[in-house]
Amino acid sequence: MALFPMFVSLEGKKVLVVGGGAVALRKIEKLLPFKPEIKVISKEFSEETLNLIKKHNIPYEKRAFKPSDLQGQFIVIVAVDDIKLQEEIFRLTRDKNIFVNAVDSPDYCDFIFPAYVKREDVVIGITSSGSAPGLSAKIRKHIEKNLPQNLEQILKQVKNLRKSLPKGKERQKKVLQLVEELFKD
């Protein structure tokens, strides 16, 4: 079943990452630009993951996950090589308002991590709804290559025009005209 792309504010929200390997590293890197309050718990950490954690002063604990870790979390990313733990954490969160992402099984996910392209406020998320992650990565690369190099500048000009005029039909027309002019193939 295809998933709806809901864009969510993560600023200041608590995100727990369980796991310290290559996949946890990628999830943390992808989360950082959206400024959540990340904490990482893992039995072991790869050197690269630990370096990233230290570079960004992310709190971390080297130990096994325990259920009380879930308290107060907005999102939990279960990036462990243990499907049973992914299932357990999914089960433990059913009566709580916590969104879970389990890296090994869409069945234990409330939401799925997209491949994405971010150019300031423009964010393009790509998913195959769990069915072909490698394809999502490929589509992301294709989009990156084909977006205008000056997208940030285009965004800035459009934002400025919108700010300079009152809301209404006239502004809508001008904005769409400017977008057409600036965004030529």
Ligand X SMILES: C[C@@]1(CC(=O)O)c2cc3[nH]c(cc4nc(cc5[nH]c(cc(n2)[C@H]1CCC(=O)O)[C@@](C)(CC(=O)O)[C@@H]5CCC(=O)O)C(CC(=O)O)=C4CCC(=O)O)c(CCC(=O)O)c3CC(=O)O
Residues at the interface with ligand X (CB under 6 A): 26-27, 30, 101, 103-106, 109, 112-115, 127-130, 132-134, 136-137, 140
* CA 16 – CA 124 distance, rounded (Å): 24
The site map against ligand NAI for 63-102 (x = CB under 6 A) is -xx-------------xxxx--x-----------------
Among 6-14, 19-27, 87-95, 164-172, which window interacts with ligand NAI (CB under 6 A)? 19-27
41: partner contacted, choices ligand NAI, ligand X, none (Cβ within 5-8 A by kind): ligand NAI
Binding residue (CB under 6 A) for ligand NAI from 22, 135, 137, 176? 22
Cβ distance to ligand NAI smaller for residue 41 or 154: 41
131 Cβ partners below 8 Å, 6+ apart?
none
What one-character DSSP code corresponds to residue 4? Answer: P
Burial 54-82 (b: 16+ CB within 10 A, else e): eeeebebeeeebeeebbeebbbbbbbbee
Q: Is 125 in the site for ligand NAI (CB under 6 A)?
A: no
* CB-closest chain residue to ligand X: 134
3-state helix, strand, coil in the chain (%, to 5): 45, 15, 40
Least Å distance, CB 160 to ligand X, is 30
Contacts of residue 137, defined as CB under 8 A and 6 or more positions apart, other chains included, come to: 115
Tokens of 72: 């107060």
Decide whether 80 or 154 has the Cβ nearer to ligand X: 80
